Amino acid sequence: MSSHERARISSARRVVVKVGSSSITGANADQIGPLIETLAKLHDRGAEVVLVSSGAVPSGMRHLGLEDRPADLATQQAAASVGQNVLAATYQKTLDQHGISAGQVLLTEGDLLNEPHRSNTRRAVNRLLDLRILPIVNENDTVATYGLRFGDNDRLAAMLSVLIRADLLVLLSDVDALYTKPPHLPGAERIDDIGFDQELVGMEFGGSNGPGVGTGGANTKVKAARLAASAGTAVLVTAAGLAGPALLGEHVGTWFEPAPQAPGRALL
């Protein structure tokens, strides 16, 4: 992808940004401010912005006196219930500095797969955007069950991007881009661009990097990006700390070219 094409990112009309738990909680909690400042700049120039944010469970763990992510579903649900409230309050406090109001949207997989929930979700998010509210979306971990879960918010963000016909999906994590193999391994090479029909032969995309608070990894991002790109939404995968440059169209991260055959869905 040329630098000229990436520069067009800065004028995308509807943008979904997903950030992972490890990028905004614990030692990285101070990244919320810069992230919101970046999203506020998008909002101020007239873009419609949706933030898909993980972090409810780790945000609630401290209040439950837990050091490690709970293994049982009931305690995960309790942590999510407490943490979602903490997370939403933190985001709104930061957004207040920019004169922006947030709307909380908690979803289960069925809300994006099954009618009439699917249509109701689309209508609700579209109306929030019409009203210049910034929707903050997360999986409804308090009521979701193992049989009906997204599994990770990368997939949620991709499915939501398709549902609301977003021009651009940005998947943020702790890694600056995707690599041909886990970046800590010898011979790993950074991937700049992935064509909409490109075969990813010989590349190794792993899961979560370890026992931290997050549940995703490079593999989930590739699958999510492919899902969104196949429906005509352009996708950029990069680090949370590079959100500002990424949304200005600078050459960072890994770009997934959107499928051209989706009518009216090409980037911008």
Domain boundaries, the chain: 3-256
Whether residue 30 is annotated as binding a ligand: the answer is no
Whether residue 54 is annotated as binding a ligand: the answer is yes
Whether residue 221 is annotated as binding a ligand: the answer is no
Looking at the domain that runs over 3-256, which CATH code has it been given?
A: 3.40.1160.10
Whether residue 230 is annotated as binding a ligand: the answer is no
Tokens 């950029």, residue? 236
Q: Is the pLDDT of residue 11 over 80?
A: yes
Q: Is the pLDDT of residue 203 over 70?
A: no
Residue-level pLDDT at 266: 44
**How far is Cα 208 from Cα 192, in angstroms, rounded to an integer?**
21
**How far is Cα 118 from Cα 112, in angstroms, rounded to an integer?**
5
Residue-level pLDDT at 105: 97
Q: Give bridge partners of residue 51 from the DSSP assignment.
A: 17, 136
The DSSP result for 95-129, as a single string, is: HHTTT--EEEEEE-HHHHHSTTHHHHHHHHHHHHH
Residue among 15, 92, 88 at smallest CA distance from 55: 88
Residue-level pLDDT at 106: 95
**How far is Cα 101 from Cα 39, in angstroms, rounded to an integer?**
12
Residue-level pLDDT at 261: 58
Residue-level pLDDT at 4: 57
Residue range 210-251, pLDDT digits in tens:
444 444 578 889 999 999 999 999 999 999 999 999 999 899
Whether residue 126 is annotated as binding a ligand: the answer is no
Tokens standing for residue 101: 């109001």
Residue-level pLDDT at 158: 97
Whether residue 141 is annotated as binding a ligand: the answer is yes
Residues ≥6 apart with Cβ < 8 Å to 221: 154, 171, 173, 178, 205, 237
Q: Is the pLDDT of residue 255 over 70?
A: yes
